[in-house]
Structure 1
């Protein structure tokens, strides 16, 4: 089921804004209940979670920007998870949770944003894909350049699923596409926001499934190709 996300705005009449806020609370209630009952249930639209869970296999490899519940969810279902975080406090909390659960298949990377007081950010990773040469390929958040480039440390076709749920999402997706194996999934949370349209443009020709619960949308893009023809695993 797809329920168009509802977003109150300051330009809405007062009654309309109150109605939208109440509707969002009502629609969000099942999500809150599910998360309360299962502390490690991912903070994604439930339809997308079902799609992802049906896709995952024990030998699969996952990369994600923005860790938390999803990290635990993936770690319990796949061979390995690489998680990139930018917030030091949250990184520490997540690291403690991973250690508490003794999850040994998680690589938790901390890549903090560049501090403008230190001058210009480092140069882009030379391994960036050719799609960065597109005139439309703007870099809106250069302070997160190293964060978005973290996936470039891995070979093409290395991951079976990439979750984009952190900062600089367009730049992250631009770097991640080639890192997916054929048949792999690119998952974009909060996909209803117009600012993420470039990701939809980049994945033109991919199979796209959108799941929305009236509060937000999660989109799942499938890279063309036969998943059984993925690169041989090291």
Structure 2
């Protein structure tokens, strides 16, 4: 038996007596598996192996990872490690970014099936209408700025089987956009939990109709 395994029962007994055993177990199991500490330390949305992942809740990431495929086309409002994650799993991902410096950084890392466009931010302006010149999208991700207007524009260029993903859907400022989708026949599925980097519980929601590409 290694020294580490020999000492573990004694260490766990001390932590249990101090009421801190749950922290040890979280770090050893769930938090380690997701790579949360690594993401928080690096302030980057990465997993336990430092691979890029979307900056949305872990339950939402797990759900999407098992359901997306190379036949899908994704549009993102907001770019970053999520763009790289999508590009490995779908046929094409197109993103729009309002921050020029960030745009330049992300663009330099993109594979061939991903593209990124820089558009200056203006309320209810060209940014939220960036997908109008594209095609019909299977998944539209709203995780950038001017989100209410982005949600409203999304229904104009979504495929018949398409879904809309909204991050931080628990924030009051997005209620108008959420109500807009619900009033247009969309259903809402919430994924609450921890997300990379941050220390609080948040929510990511997927809005869908029957016969959608995710099988909801």
Q: Note whether the superposition's TM-score is higher than 0.5.
A: yes
Structure 1: where are the runs of 5+ without partners? 1-25, 115-140, 229-234
Q: Secondary structure at the residue paired with 1:42?
A: coil
Quote the Cα distance in structure 2 between the aligned partners of 1:110 and 1:179: 19
CA contact (8 A) 2:74 2:140 kept: yes
CA contact (8 A) 1:192 1:217 kept: yes
Q: Secondary structure at the residue paired with 1:203?
A: helix
Give the deviation of 1:197 after TM superposition. 0.9
Quote the Cα distance in structure 1 between the aligned partners of 2:121 and 2:189: 31
After TM superposition, the score normalised by the length of structure 2 is 0.71
Specify the alignment match of 2:7 in structure 1: none
Q: Secondary structure at the residue paired with 1:64?
A: strand
The structure 1 segments of at least 4 consecutive aligned residues displaced by more than 6 Å after TM superposition are 26-29
CA contact (8 A) 1:60 1:79 kept: yes
Q: Secondary structure at the residue paired with 2:201?
A: coil
Specify the alignment match of 2:76 in structure 1: 64
Give the deviation of 1:33 after TM superposition. 3.7
Specify which of 221, 227, 230 is matched with residue 207 of structure 2: 221
Give the deviation of 1:182 after TM superposition. 2.5
Q: Rate the CA distance shift 1:170–1:32 in 2: closer, same or farther, 3 A.
A: farther
Q: Rate the CA distance shift 1:200–1:58 in 2: closer, same or farther, 3 A.
A: same
Quote the Cα distance in structure 1 between the aligned partners of 2:201 and 2:99: 25
Specify the alignment match of 1:108 in structure 2: 116
| 1:150 to 2:130 alignment | yes
Quote the Cα distance in structure 2 between the aligned partners of 1:227 and 1:160: 7
Quote the Cα distance in structure 2 between the aligned partners of 1:146 and 1:42: 24
Alignment of 1:145-184 (within 5 A): 145-155=125-135, 158-184=136-162
Give the deviation of 1:55 after TM superposition. 2.4
After TM superposition, the score normalised by the length of structure 1 is 0.66
Structure 2: where are the runs of 5+ without partners? 1-26, 40-45, 194-199
Give the deviation of 1:207 after TM superposition. 2.7
Q: Deviations over 1:145-177 (max 9, x none)?
A: 11001111124xx11100000000010110011
CA contact (8 A) 1:181 1:227 kept: no
Corresponding residue pairs, total: 169
CA contact (8 A) 2:96 2:116 kept: yes
Q: Rate the CA distance shift 1:61–1:192 in 2: closer, same or farther, 3 A.
A: same
Alignment root-mean-square deviation, CA = 2.4
Q: Deviations over 1:10-55 (max 9, x none)?
A: xxxxxxxxxxxxxxxx998853446252331111101111222222
CA contact (8 A) 1:28 1:215 kept: no
Specify the alignment match of 1:14 in structure 2: none
* Greater RCO, CA 8 A, separation 6+: 1
Q: Secondary structure at the residue paired with 2:210?
A: coil
Quote the Cα distance in structure 1 between the aligned partners of 2:64 and 2:212: 17
Give the deviation of 1:215 after TM superposition. 2.4
